[in-house]
Amino acid sequence: MFCTIITTVWLAMTLSTSSDKPVGVIGAGNFGTVMANMLAEQKQVLLYTRNHEKAKQIRETRKSRGIELHPSIDVVTNLELLANSCDVIFPIVPSAVFRAMMRDLAPFLKPYHLLIHGTKGLDLKLPHGETIETMKFLDRTMVKTMSEVIREESVVARVGCLAGPNLSRELAERQPGATVIASPFQEVIQTGKKLLRSDRFQVYENNDLIGVELAGVLKNIIAIAAGALSGLGYGENARGLLISRGAVEMVYMGRAMGGNTKAFLGVAGIGDLVATCNSPSSRNFTVGYRLAKGEKLPEILADMDEVAEGVNTVKIIKKCADFYKVRAMITESLYRVLFENMTVQDALSQLMRFQFTLDIDFIKD
């Protein structure tokens, strides 16, 4: 009881004393820009981009990725300035550069900082001299979520993530949406809710940080498959089958990697899965769609202006599934399509021939 009172008082003091400080957003891509705009409805925001030319252009046009910036947003290119100015920071950069970004940011971070990331990808920490191509298997000692990267690279302990059906285009158009703020720390969750919740954006809370992170990561695999189905011209029956079996695969893979089943059944799991599997504006959906139309993966990726996290996720999760002995048929089939030249049609035929038995067996009566 005493600890609860102390935590509540400390949280109130934190929110009060930092109320005049801006909030930091690292990453001026589509999602980073949209989040900066939403945060700017409550607070002054510093939006960081490392590209000085891009920063100049954004300042002059007051637009980033074609999205008009809120008047309360200032664009910066100095991480030290951002860290010294902001107690609360939202890192939203691709997973491939997340660790490097944290290493650049870490010298300026203090234990009082609070970080809530919005990156739906994984980081690899491999033995010296190894690459993902040379590794037969991957386990959780080598595969890190972004919250784990933050903790490994900085003194920050109060870490969280946001995940859910957060398609940038719809949020930029001020359509209704929702997210989950996940963290083992209530002050992180409550701070995130205070900053983001509005009459058109609902914010839920979850204490299973790893589970919510993995839900956001794993659904990208299923979104690629959904795009492929659409590219082949199949309809809602096929999509319904994919989403339902994809959800089961996410639960098994997520549990093997340290998540809780509940995280995959909520907004960050099923909610995000349904949204991305039905949206041509999803980058991962687009990859699958274009593959089914006969384009090659290198051409597709070279033509995209932002990262489709699901491509690298397929490569990582396939090797994790092999290690943990999880039968992840959708992931295995997509791996062959992306990296072993199997056609999308052959992959679908392989999936349909597989003899599944039980529908749902991860929930006990």
Q: Show Cβ contacts of residue 133 under 8 Å, excluding neighbours closer than 6 positions.
A: none
Neighbours of 42 (CB within 10 A): 14
Confirm whether 219 is a catalytic residue. Answer: yes
Q: Beta strands 143-144 and 123-124: pairing type?
A: antiparallel
Tokens of 329: 């048929």
CB 289 within 8 A of CB 106: no
Q: Is the dihedral of CA 20, 59, 75, 67 positive or negative?
A: positive
CB 331 within 8 A of CB 318: yes
Tokens of 323: 């290690």
Tokens of 133: 């191509």
Q: How far apart are CA 224 and CA 276, in angstroms?
A: 9
Which one of 43, 219, 318, 319 is the catalytic residue?
Answer: 219
Of 294, 289, 292, 268, nearest to 278 by C-alpha is 289
Q: How far apart are CA 249 and CA 51, in angstroms?
A: 39
CB 201 within 8 A of CB 38: yes
Of 360, 359, 308, 355, nearest to 94 by C-alpha is 308
List the catalytic residues.
219
